[in-house]
Amino acid sequence: MFICNFKLNGLKLAKLCFISILIIVIIIFSISIYRIFIKPKIDSQKAKSEITSDGTSCIKNEDILEIESKNYTNILQAVHDNIDSYIGCKLHFSGYVYRLIDFDSNQFVLARDMLVSDDKSQTLVVGFLCSYDDAMSFEEGTWVDLTGTITKEDFHGEIPVVKVDNIKKIDIPDDVYVYPPDGTYIPTSFMF
């Protein structure tokens, strides 16, 4: 017959539990600090340089950034959040002409409808404000393809404005919708 006798010291057991819980709390706290303050800075720097679909950077680049349905909102959000980094960047994209009542005669938004529900019943108009001297020659709702350069202007605050270099009317494309930004965009500010 084998007998095993254990003697538990309550004080030592309490210290062991306290130290174990303290270590777990410190680990969770460290991970939280990293994910909230350090990782977004690293990821936003990566996002700035990896914003294009082919992996090349458009920041201060002479190339023309092609905006497609799959990267439309990621680029739109990145440019709005980091305007100064994108000034001078050339864009090529398509959308429809959308105007608001307080726009000047040379302004319009080159817009797309962003799906906010899975059944395509709810959309939100998103796009870049554009400036073009002959903007009124394009009726609202007209689909156009344009190439332009990002500038910074004041319109109810500082926003990016695309100065149109080339613009032409096109037929409605097959992929008219864009989708909310995916996980590749990391915001640079947080609300707690």
Task: Give whole-number Cα distances, 98 to 5, 111, 123, 189, in Å.
Answer: 82, 6, 14, 29
**109's tokens:** 């938004």
The reply to whether 44 and 81 lie within a common domain is no
**45's tokens:** 């720097």
Domain presence at residue 108 = yes
The reply to whether 14 and 67 lie within a common domain is no
The reply to whether 42 and 135 lie within a common domain is no
The reply to whether 124 and 167 lie within a common domain is yes
In tens digits, the chain (192 residues) has pLDDT values of 677 776 777 788 888 899 999 999 999 999 888 888 777 666 655 555 444 444 434 444 457 778 888 888 888 888 888 888 888 888 888 899 999 888 888 889 888 888 887 776 788 888 898 998 988 888 888 899 999 999 988 888 888 889 999 989 899 888 888 888 775 544 333 333
**What are φ and ψ of residue 128, in 5° steps?**
-95, 140
**188's tokens:** 């640079």
Exposed, middle or buried: residue 130 (CB in 10 Å: 0-12, 13-18, 19+)?
A: buried
Domain presence at residue 186 = no
The reply to whether 15 and 99 lie within a common domain is no
The reply to whether 32 and 79 lie within a common domain is no
Determine the pLDDT at residue 23: 96
Determine the pLDDT at residue 46: 55
Domain of 137 in residue numbering reads as 62-178
**53's tokens:** 């679909």
- DSSP states of 78-119: HHHHTHHHHTT-EEEEEEEEE--TT--TTEEEEEEEEE-STT
Domain presence at residue 97 = yes
Domain presence at residue 183 = no
The reply to whether 117 and 172 lie within a common domain is yes
Task: Give whole-number Cα distances, 173 to 5, 68, 93, 100, 188, in Å.
Answer: 80, 11, 12, 23, 33
Determine the pLDDT at residue 28: 92
The reply to whether 32 and 67 lie within a common domain is no
The reply to whether 134 and 157 lie within a common domain is yes
CATH number, position 81? 2.40.50.140
**DSSP annotation of 165:** E
Burial readout 64-76 (b: 16 or more C-beta within 10 A, e: otherwise): bbebebebbbbbb
The reply to whether 16 and 98 lie within a common domain is no
